[in-house]
A = this chain, B = another copy of it.
Amino acid sequence: MAYRRILLAADFSEHGEQVIQRAQELAKKYAAELGIVHVVENVPIMDSSYGPIVPFDIDLSEQMVESARKRLTEIADSLVIPQDRRWVEIGSPKVEIIRIAKEWQADLVVIGSHGRHGIGLLLGSTAASVIHHAECDVLAVRLRR
């Protein structure tokens, strides 16, 4: 019944520290293994004065992945997570988080949940989607501004 494998879905957002701390705390309380995943969305859309831009620049994607790996390494190092429990994936956050949780046989996913204002409406739905489709428990950590 106790959680044995806890997967932290890190989104590197401003208030993501709360999610990290909660996952770490739960892993401690349950003496569970902690894993970490970050998903780089495959279609980054940037706002410009001329409207949204979808960059097809391969270098940019590589830069994003490289930068994500760096940030993930920092977090994972601070949490003393071994190399084989660190994942940086490219694609849909929902799909990739669910896939990694299944493959690693996580029994709990810890994920940030944004409010329902502005971009929050979109981001919040990742947590909700993961709940709909994951085969394990999901803790949505409410992120505060």
**Interface residue ranges, A against B (CB under 8 Å):** 1-2, 21-22, 25, 29, 113, 116, 124-125, 127-129, 131-142
Cβ of B128 and Cβ of A131 under 8 Å apart?
A: yes
Please indicate the chain B residues that have their CB under 8 angstroms from the CB of A1 in the complex.
21-22, 25
In the assembled complex, the CB of A6 is this many whole angstroms from the nearest CB of chain B, namely 12
| Known contacts A128-B131, A139-B139; 14 further A-B pairs (Cβ under 8 A) | A1-B22, A22-B137, A113-B131, A113-B137, A116-B133, A124-B131, A125-B132, A128-B128, A128-B129, A128-B132, A131-B140, A134-B142, A137-B139, A138-B142
Q: How far is the CA of A10 from the CA of B113 in the complex (A)?
A: 22
Asked whether A131 and B131 contact (CB < 8 A) given A137-B139, A137-B142, the answer is yes
In the assembled complex, the CB of A48 is this many whole angstroms from the nearest CB of chain B, namely 29
Q: 7 tightest CB-CB pairs across the interface, nearest first?
A: A128-B128, A131-B140, A138-B140, A139-B139, A29-B29, A137-B141, A128-B131
